Chains A and B, each alone.
Chain A
Amino acid sequence: MRKLVNIFGKRSSWALPYALFLAIFVALPLLLIVVYAFSDNDGGFSLQNFVKFVTQPEAVNTFIYSIGIALVTTFLCILLGYPAAYILSNKELNRSQITVILFILPMWINILVRTLATVALFDFIHLPLGEGALIFGMVYNFLPFMIYPIYNTLQKMDHSLIEAAEDLGAKPSTVFWKVTIPLSMPGVMSGVMMVFMPTISTFAIAELLTMNNIKLFGTTIQENINNGMWNYGAALSLIMLVIIGISSLFSDGDGQNVENEGGLI
């Protein structure tokens, strides 16, 4: 009895439920994906799923197209999000917290609701659905995820650094390019992470905003799984995970100063 109390009294044992949760809902599914990806329909080890992916131009094209769309979306988000974050963080331009909330507000609404609203909006103003609508929808959905981390880093930035640059003879535009931009890079990087990774795997937005005309990689995976092709779907998922993993490693290299990073949460 006493021993039992000791086990539960130890602080580390409090982590047990979380460890269990992670094991069942994160580690196990990942493991299953790997197992399924490397096996054929009969359960034997095989690389046929990967061979199928590489040899099927359709899947590869969808994959490349998805990455392209994700890159365009991320780029547009930076282009629109950076100025917005800059204005929000500037005390002279933005005097109230409410504007910040307004920019972040869309994040609180379900992504499907927002996308359906976008479809309705395009319908209403007689704009065709398709690639343009898709990119619009992606940018609209993910923009707050870009603005917030950048806003965070800009806001935490030591104002005396800007004064120091001015003092050393930098005119306002030079201060922006030589000090503000480099110092807000951690925020931009986490913004990129928040936007680029989810956009690769979206499928709902693509389905709704293109009337199912344009397929993204996420759609392909979903279709395969839905049609009972679990092994192939798992292989595709694994490929996507690897890409996401690589891109996150890529941005981690720059993020030694984690405390400066504009975390979203």
Chain B
Amino acid sequence: MAKDNSIIKIEHLSKSFGDKQVLDDITLDIRRGEFVTLLGPSGCGKTTLLRMIAGFAKPDEGVILMDGNDISETPPHKRPLNTVFQRYALFPHLNVYDNIAFGLKLNKIPSDEIDKRVRKVLKMVSMTDYEDRDVTSLSGGQQQRVAIARAIVNRPKVLLLDEPLAALDLKMRKDMQMELKEMHNTLGITFIYVTHDQEEALTLSDTVVVMSEGKIQQIGTPTDIYNEPVNSFVADFIGESNILNGKMIRDREVEFIGHTFECVDEGFGEHTAVDVVVRPEDIYIIAHAENAKFTGVVKSCTFKGVHYEMFVETDKGYELMLQDYNAFEIGSTVGMFIKPSDIHVMRKERTCNTFDGVMVSPTKVKMLGAEFDCEDCGLAEGDRVTVRVNFDKVELLDNKEDGTLMGEVHFILYKGNHYHLTILTDDGDNVYVDTNDIWDNCDLVGISIAPKHLRITKRV
């Protein structure tokens, strides 16, 4: 039954451009009639994945099945799907009518039928009376409509949309979102939509596929993705959130920001380190501090249209972002509480850095493409070892030449009282660092680790 329902099946798809792996073992099942969004920051591989489905790029590994047939080697003109391109790609030498009729004419459809279908689809995108217009004379929004019309007039089984609204202004984008959603409902064809705009993804989709660094992070309905992010990347990328280090005391009891909270999560084990996500709108704020779960001092308060966004420093020194319809005065002490169901607990992907290394002398270990001094732990040259380093023991240096190793700040996560950074080294390894210093994305930093903080164990 499930098999009948799926129109596109992507299995173990991988692709590299040179040294860079853009897609890493992607497996995805798209159901007939679904509105699927591939969501992720730029460079996450979402567009490459779309281009592979369209046939403009060939996978290195893996297959793409459409209705059960392998289409990985099918050239684009033989695939029963159409694409709406990011910059529209309308043919400048043809007018609106001929642009839309391009695909139909190629399929040798009788001209009265072409005429009927072009008019119908023009009506659908509210562009009647524009048939004879030169496409270069149209505004961005109108070109976008023609591009959509040109794709759907062929009645494809699947419509691919590559950030189709990225070039439009906010108001126009909102209108087009609604129209696209409506079109999807009336046409009943499968939409695969690529965007980096999380709000757009949540608004439009039946299913959101969150991608990062060539991997799928999470697949789920918009509400699932928003309410139950599987890791801190998704939580950070989708909407605003407070991501904090926590500890599961026992089932249904979690400790974070220095307090113990009741929650609804189970099965993490006792005293397990976890990530806790609390959405800013889920923290209730009251003026009377006495009855609250915890208290804090309002540090800033900004009006955001519907709500106020406030940063509060809690009694235990953590900074939380929260949103409320009421403004609270800066400097005032407020009380806060969080409902158990609004506390989202996520398993930590890692609790410390783990590197593979080789001893080059009893007091030197080679890892991450550099040699680090370490304390003598009785291991001989050539021994293969696993090195563990706590996040907060990695030192970052302004002057990149001063470190043992160089790296680039790749991803920054604020954890309430410190930053959790992902540093990408020249060799493509990730080093995770907890720090109180403020770094910017793409900063080049030197990495050094004091010898006593390298915990070395021999690998068997």
Contacts and interface: CB of A to CB of B under 8 A. Distances in A.
B186 interface: no
B107 interface: yes
A145 B381 CA distance: 68
Contact of A160 (B89, B102, B151): B89
A174 B78 CA distance: 13
Given A160-B87, A161-B89, A164-B83, A169 B106 contact: yes
A30 interface: no
A164 B85 contact: yes
Given A163-B56, A174-B106, A183-B93, A168 B85 contact: no
A92 interface: no
B106 A170 contact: yes
A168 B76 CA distance: 8
B92 interface: yes
A50 B91 CA distance: 48
A11 to B, nearest CB: 34
Given A168-B103, A169-B106, A170-B106, A163 B89 contact: yes
B167 to A, nearest CB: 13
Contact of B89 (A164, A170, A185, A257): A164
A42 interface: no
A170 B102 CA distance: 9
A131 B150 CA distance: 52
Interface in A164-223: 164-172, 174, 178-179, 182-183, 185
- Identify the interface centre among B85, B87, B93: most chain A CB within 10 Å of its CB: B93
A188 to B, nearest CB: 13
Contact of A179 (B81, B91, B136, B150): B91
A132 B228 CA distance: 80
Nearest to B76: A166
B82 A167 contact: yes
Contacts of B75: 166, 171
Contacts of B76: 163, 166-167
A94 to B, nearest CB: 20
Interface string B147-159: 0001100100000
B54 interface: yes
B3 interface: no
Interface in B86-107: 86-87, 89-93, 102-103, 106-107
Interface of A: 158, 160-161, 163-172, 174, 178-179, 182-183, 185, 257
Given A160-B86, A164-B83, A168-B77, 16 more contacts: A160-B85, A160-B87, A161-B89, A163-B89, A164-B85, A166-B56, A168-B82, A168-B103, A169-B77, A169-B78, A170-B77, A170-B102, A174-B106, A183-B93, A185-B93, A257-B92
15 contacts: A161-B89, A163-B56, A164-B83, A164-B89, A164-B90, A164-B91, A165-B102, A166-B55, A166-B77, A167-B77, A168-B77, A168-B106, A171-B77, A172-B77, A183-B91
